[in-house]
A and B are shown apart, each in its own frame.
Chain A
Amino acid sequence: MGRNRSDLIVFVGKRLLQLIPVVLGVIVITFFFTHVATQNPCAVWAGAHATADQVQACIVRFGLDRPLTDQFWRYLTTLLSGDWGANPRGGVPVLLSISSAFPATLELVLASLFIMTVLGIPLGVIAANGAGRWADHLVRVFYLSGWATPTYLGAVVLAIAVGPAIGLPTKGDFASTPPFARLTHMSVLDALLALDFPAAGDALLHLILPASALALLNLGIATRMTRTSMLEVLPLDFVKTARMKGLSDFVVLYKHALRNALISTVTILGITAGVLLSGTVVIETIFQWPGIGAYAYDAIKGYNFPGTIAVVIVFAIAVVISNLLSDVLYGILDPRVEWR
């Protein structure tokens, strides 16, 4: 194995093949927990005022009276044929909800990754440059505070106290239903595609608070990682050479050292995608963001089994793919890595 393009293709292909057993396992586990542990979901699905007959009809209709293996086989075969099922309450197709919710979440996650990068990396450089001194301690307190604040607490404070105080919107993605078609379901992108710039600005304002709340959680990871790898790079000869050439501190730190230190930071950001996705469940519920996290919450609470399984599948695929992306990125940035 080496560093040819064909090696990279084999590497990516192998990892994508590993996705199949992972997704299958995820489906089995989620199916088991939803269908075995929940007692009589039809009491919820048929509605609060349903008669015993209606509940019985519901049980027959969804095949809950059959053996579990039968039910699982039926679910798996319909899923493989491309039918993700529908919410048992109301019958909205799962795929429809997911395909409009996922881009909205992607937008939120990308915005929060942006905030993490823009804030976290300079903080890490500052901490490393003053390692062991007050700047380092201050940065350490800052990122550990972010780590120690539960996502929901930060989000509640931002949504209820900070947002109204500084006049930022705290609910949804637009102030009013936009007049243009939602092509991508990413609010800012949709507004830009429709050339509706006031709406794009509005969408951007709506994005600030939820994205910040989400970024707060993981800011520490970016900072900590940058600090650690900067500490590894700073004593190296090429940094000393740059300093001896009389270059300014800023150029030495940000142009010479950071470039090498960033390799591990960038890849860590990819791995945090899973943590960020978990965070969206809470953030989107509090900020009423129309994404997959809010859908996951509704599906879990409403015993929407096909919806729950679908969300978990999408999350699992997203986590595996972003891990793969960060591995590939690492290999591209660091010429010493071989694809294997």
Chain B
Amino acid sequence: MANETRSSLGGDATAERSLRGKVSHLRELLRPFIRVLRANPLTLVGFILVVIISVTAVLVALVPVITQLVLGHPILLTPYDPNGISTDYSQGPSLKHLLGTDKLGLDIFSRVLTALPLDLAIGVGIAGFALLAGGGLGLVAGYWDKPRTIGGAISAVILRVTDVFLAFPSLVLALAIAASLGRGTVPSMLAVLLTWWPYYVRLTRGEVLAVKHRPYVVAARAAGVSEVRILFRHVLRNLIEPLLVYYTLDIGTVIITFSTISFVGIGVPLEVSEWGTMVEAYEQLLLTHPWTVLAPGAAIFITVLAFSLFGDGLRDILDPRSRRTLVQAVAPTTLPGQVAVSAEA
């Protein structure tokens, strides 16, 4: 039996070899990831959680739409309609209602699950917009900062406007914007969107300033490489890693800020399932029906924690300095004002 297997494999030797070659190439690429995941199991936990959360969110959002198109009627992945009032009032967690029900008989598990695509999309989308908008502005402000040129003037304007927005505690500005636009999902999204980009300007600009006088950039310029090509091929490449780490950590922060606006009652309306809104709606029930508050709370906690663990580990993977193998007396080159506060958290 064993011999047969071996010989049948042997007949396919060439294909096997090329497959093996591909696998080892892939392994080479993934080596830093595998090493860090092994050294730090928490990163692995974060990574697995991020994958599970993202896949669930996509399924919960897309399956009803697709089944609507294909079958003509939507199939919900949630056990109950998140807004379907039933006679099972204020029940504790059971097999029928995994996370219990509220006073109207709404199934908490279904509501928490329905909120997942919304909250996750907001975190990924708003942080993504901030990354692109703020990153782009920071790139311009950092790269063309020579005084008394058009670029220098534009950079100066960008930096002054950024300073103004940075001086706002972003939650307060977001609250003020959300309150004046009126209660709703879109206004509170706009509010976070408008306040979220400035930090990326500072971060990107700092990185550009650090990179653009490195010898290899100077050498590229001396060799006659065009400015645009230097910007994209040599400078931008070095920005991807710090920005990616910050972005991953930032997704959680956006989710928390967005749900805070809902929690204080000027964000998402009550009939839309959203984690912050749910905590607000049920907070007085914490002692009598704790599951109603703790379930959406735990959903935020796990989601944010997953992205934090993952981002934290990503930093170790991407930034060789944080491996601290060659630590010597390093004189601080930046003032603390330029240190990434949230990125350190």
Contacts and interface: CB of A to CB of B under 8 A. Distances in A.
Interface of A: 18, 21-22, 25-26, 29-30, 33-34, 36-39, 132, 137, 140-141, 143-145, 147-153, 156-157, 160-161, 218, 220-221, 224-225, 228, 231-232, 235-236, 264, 267-268, 270-272, 274-275, 277-279, 281-282, 285, 296-297, 300-301, 303, 308, 311-312, 315-316, 319-320, 323, 326-327, 330, 334, 336-337
B177 interface: yes
- Please report whether the interface of chain B is mostly helix, strand, loop or mixed according to DSSP: helix
A235 to B, nearest CB: 5
B172 A312 contact: yes
Given A275-B341, A334-B332, A140 B266 contact: no
A34 B180 contact: yes
B260 A330 contact: no
B215 interface: no
Q: How large is the interface on B (under 10, 10 to 19, 20 to 34, 35 or more residues)?
A: 35 or more
- Please report whether the interface of chain A is mostly helix, strand, loop or mixed according to DSSP: helix
B256 A150 contact: yes
A140 B345 CA distance: 10
Contact of A232 (B256, B327, B345): B327
3 nearest CB pairs, A to B: A25-B164, A267-B336, A37-B180
A29 B167 CA distance: 12
Given A37-B180, A156-B279, A308-B176, A285 B341 contact: no
For A232, A264, A336, the residue with the greatest tally of chain B CB atoms inside 10 Å of its CB is: A232
B172 A26 contact: no
Contacts of A157: 286, 297
B176 A224 contact: no
Given A147-B345, A148-B252, A150-B300, 17 more contacts: A29-B168, A34-B176, A132-B39, A147-B304, A147-B305, A150-B276, A150-B279, A153-B279, A153-B301, A232-B327, A272-B341, A296-B172, A303-B179, A311-B172, A316-B167, A319-B168, A327-B335
A72 to B, nearest CB: 15
A315 B172 contact: yes
7 contacts: A37-B180, A147-B345, A149-B297, A228-B344, A232-B324, A300-B179, A319-B168
B336 A231 contact: no
Interface in B42-80: 42
Contacts of B293: 156
B283 interface: yes
A301 B264 CA distance: 9
Interface in B152-198: 160-161, 163-173, 175-177, 179-182
A144 B279 contact: no
Interface of B: 39-42, 160-161, 163-173, 175-177, 179-182, 252, 256, 259-260, 263-266, 276, 279-280, 283-284, 286-287, 290, 293, 297, 300-302, 304-305, 308-309, 312, 324, 327, 329-332, 335-337, 339, 341-342, 344-345
B186 to A, nearest CB: 13
Nearest to B301: A148
B202 to A, nearest CB: 12
A156 B280 CA distance: 9
Nearest to A302: B179
A156 B179 CA distance: 22
For A220, A272, A275, the residue with the greatest tally of chain B CB atoms inside 10 Å of its CB is: A275
A18 B93 CA distance: 56
Contacts of B341: 221, 268, 271-272, 275
B169 A315 contact: yes
For B176, B279, B287, B304, the residue with the greatest tally of chain A CB atoms inside 10 Å of its CB is: B176
Given A160-B283, A272-B341, A326-B337, A150 B176 contact: no
Nearest to A146: B345
Contacts of A221: 341, 344-345
A160 B286 contact: yes
B42 to A, nearest CB: 6
A319 B169 contact: yes
Given A148-B308, A312-B168, A268 B286 contact: no
Nearest to A264: B336
Contact of A268 (B297, B305, B336): B336
Contacts of B160: 21, 25
Contacts of B41: 137
Given A21-B160, A148-B304, A267-B336, A281 B42 contact: no
B259 A156 contact: no
Contact of B266 (A132, A225, A300): A300
A25 B312 CA distance: 35
Nearest to A311: B172
B263 A312 contact: no
Nearest to B309: A144
B308 to A, nearest CB: 5
A218 B341 CA distance: 10
A26 B161 CA distance: 10
Contacts of A145: 301, 305
Nearest to A271: B341
Contacts of A270: 336
For B166, B266, B330, the residue with the greatest tally of chain A CB atoms inside 10 Å of its CB is: B166
A333 to B, nearest CB: 10
Nearest to B300: A150
Contacts of A320: 167
A109 B339 CA distance: 22
Contacts of A232: 324, 327, 330
A197 B39 CA distance: 53
A21 B260 contact: no
A149 B168 contact: no
A303 B178 CA distance: 12
A188 B259 CA distance: 33
A300 B167 contact: no
B279 A337 contact: no
Contacts of A330: 335-336
A274 to B, nearest CB: 5
A236 B304 CA distance: 35
A283 B283 CA distance: 14
A327 B337 contact: yes
Given A150-B259, A301-B179, A312-B176, A285 B167 contact: no
